[in-house]
Amino acid sequence: MTNLLSMKKILITFCLLVLFVTAIPSNIHAQSAVNRDTVLLAAREIIRETVYCALVTIDSTGQPQVRTMNPFPPNDELITWFATSRYSRKVREIRRNPKVCVYFADHMTAKGYVNITGDAEVIDDKELLLKMRRDYWKSIPDWQTKFVLIRIVPKTIEVINYRHGLNNDAVTFRAPFIVL
């Protein structure tokens, strides 16, 4: 009889637990709605104020590789451009796997960060390279034949920007993001 009562208590407790769990909205940990324009404005602000960023590629073993880069100012669509040696590892890695990540942050001032995921493309266009030329390249012998451009078209943009009130989720710590 005691075993039967114990089993009933366990069953009732289980049923109450199931009712409680199913009553919780399924999106309780989902990101609350963010304003697309605010995310883009906040992203542009941090990117504009950041001189260097990190470019993450995937090597042939599947290992992420991170390097510091000096990007060109992004356009309105936040397409990111870099110049690099045509013989660099990053060029080989992008040609093998175009999925990349670009991370902008100034950790000295802690304003926030921007993380862009997207697809990269190596562009070997001498005319465009000459148009995008930076003054300090003059000190690099034969830079016109050594350099290629990398263009990254964003797919997602994740932003923490304290000035604009874009903070991470209190439970998941996921940053506000948009899908492009």
User: For residue 99, what is the domain's CATH number?
Assistant: 2.30.110.10
Cα gap 180→177, rounded to integer Å: 10
Strand 80-85 and strand 99-105: pairing? unpaired
pLDDT exceeds cutoff 50 at 13: no
Would the pTM count as exceeding 0.75? Answer: yes
The answer as to whether 119 is a domain residue is: yes
Do residues 116 and 154 lie in contact, with contact meaning Cβ atoms separated by under 8 Å? yes
Residues 6+ apart with CB under 8 A from 152: 79, 80, 81, 82, 100, 102, 116, 118, 119, 120, 121
User: Range of 167's domain?
Assistant: 30-179
**pLDDT of amino acid 153:** 97
The answer as to whether 126 is a domain residue is: yes
For the segment 90-139, what is each residue's pLDDT rounded down to a tens digit?
999 999 999 999 999 987 888 999 999 999 999 999 999 999 999 999 99
The answer as to whether 98 is a domain residue is: yes
Per-chain mean pLDDT for the chain? 85
Task: Tally the domains of the chain.
Answer: 1
The answer as to whether 174 is a domain residue is: yes
Give me the percent of the chain exceeding a pLDDT of 70.
82
- Using 50, 70 and 90 to split pLDDT, how confident is the model at 32? low
The answer as to whether 9 is a domain residue is: no
The answer as to whether 3 is a domain residue is: no
For the segment 47-75, what is each residue's pLDDT rounded down to a tens digit?
999 999 999 999 999 999 999 999 999 88
